[in-house]
Amino acid sequence: MCVPLIVVNILFPSARVRRRRTEEPALAAPIRLVFCITELDPGGAERALTQLVLSLDRDEWEPHVICLGPRGYFADVLENAGVPVSCLNASGTLSLPRILFQLTRELRRLRPALVQTFLFHANILGRIAARLAGIRIVVSGLRVAEHRSLWYGRIDRWTNFLVAKNVCVSQGVADFSTQKVGLDRAKLVVIPNSVDFERFAMAKPADVSQFGIPTGARILISIGRLERQKGIDVLLDAIELLRPFPDDLHFLIVGDGPDSVILRGRVAQMRWGDRIHFANRRNDVPELLAASTALILPSRWEGMPNVVLEAMAAGRPVIASRVEGIAELVRERMTGLTVPSDNHADLATAIRSLLADTEFIAKAGNESQHIVEKEFTATVVNSLYTQLYRELLSPA
């Protein structure tokens, strides 16, 4: 869904809106926070929100979650942990006025001290609704360097006066936001994604025979939404350059999306198509990574991809495109290899190099786990969020 320009006209404060402001909420503990996100289906942002919310100290914070879309997988996860969840059932552009009204009503009812938003549509509607509801502090989450549409950046820039801070998941996203979008650098703070380290580090390998992969095969896995951003077409181009093709090598592509039919059709026509397997969306990613040799992420743009952190926590090296956030995770010849984006020839070279060096695979996996455990656990990352919230809520 897209934000129509008529919504932007609501943004500019009027005397009428100012008179309707609610009282500032008392900050007696626990302090009420609202987390607003576009969807709660499985995905990187949705998982990040869930990890953050579930890690909050309930003696200090009282979290509530509002989802603009229909009920998704993580709604159950949150509610089972005692976090109230409201889903507004957005169904496209025509539903936006209704969603804005309902979101504003929910914020007036809850009267949180702070609203934290995730993903573009929640970022925009969340900051507008917070202004209409009289909520003073809004924190927006910038999770990707958005290359697809200039309008996304323009709308973000035009409405950013409603935001106290923008949390960027990587320095690459922060640089993109200032240089390409034009956001105020003083409003940007970098807080990376986190990963459930133990879940991935201790996972047992999945039975890959369910995909037609023989036991003992070397598996290069790609995980993500099947759309142009993720560059699976670039991976297929690279696979066609692998000569000779190793007898024990298989590729596993996990995910679904708008390009699924096209990619499957192309694989069916490839010479090595029987070595490329599709797995749709899965809930056993830790086990699939444990069964794999390495992760390949040939994205055309990113923010800080969770799947890279997950592979590193699983002790797997990564081959990835050199895009936003990757250099902050994949340290060249230490935890993996990076290649220019949209370059299948260099990707094929990197795959050959990795497969030829079993010692590097082991060392890179060990180094990856060490880095994640030290810098990217939920405990480390979520302390940065709570520190930010405390600073924003402290008396001037």
The pTM assigned to this predicted structure is 0.83
What is the structure's pLDDT at 396? 64
Residues 215 and 311 both lie in one domain: yes
User: How far apart are alpha carbons 52 and 57 in whole angstroms?
Assistant: 10
Residues 181 and 202 both lie in one domain: no
User: How far apart are alpha carbons 346 and 204 in whole angstroms?
Assistant: 32
1 pLDDT tier (thresholds 50, 70, 90): very low
Residues 97 and 21 both lie in one domain: yes
Q: Which two tokens stand for residue 186?
A: 């003083």
Extended beta strands in 31-144, E state = 31-37, 61-67, 85-87, 114-118, 138-142
Residues 123 and 148 both lie in one domain: yes
Whether the CA torsion 242, 332, 185, 190 is positive or negative: it is positive
User: How far apart are alpha carbons 205 and 70 in whole angstroms?
Assistant: 33
Containing structural domain, residue 333: 197-375
297: pLDDT strictly greater than 60: yes
Which residues are CB-contacts of 391 (< 8 A; sequence separation ≥ 6)? none
Residues 229 and 327 both lie in one domain: yes
Which residues are CB-contacts of 318 (< 8 A; sequence separation ≥ 6)? 294, 295, 296, 297, 308, 311, 312, 329, 330, 335, 336, 337, 368
Cα-atom radius of gyration of the chain, to the nearest Å? 22
230 pLDDT tier (thresholds 50, 70, 90): very high
220: pLDDT strictly greater than 90: yes
Residues 93 and 213 both lie in one domain: no
Residues 343 and 354 both lie in one domain: yes
Residues 164 and 217 both lie in one domain: no
Total structural domains within the chain: 2
Residues 105 and 143 both lie in one domain: yes
Residues 175 and 64 both lie in one domain: yes
pLDDT in tens, 52-86: 999 999 999 999 999 999 999 999 999 999 999 99
What CATH code is carried by the domain that includes residue 98? 3.40.50.2000
150: pLDDT strictly greater than 90: no
Give the percent of the chain with pLDDT over 90. Answer: 81
42: pLDDT strictly greater than 90: no
Q: What is the mean pLDDT of residues 206-230?
A: 95
Residues 36 and 128 both lie in one domain: yes
Residues 178 and 112 both lie in one domain: yes
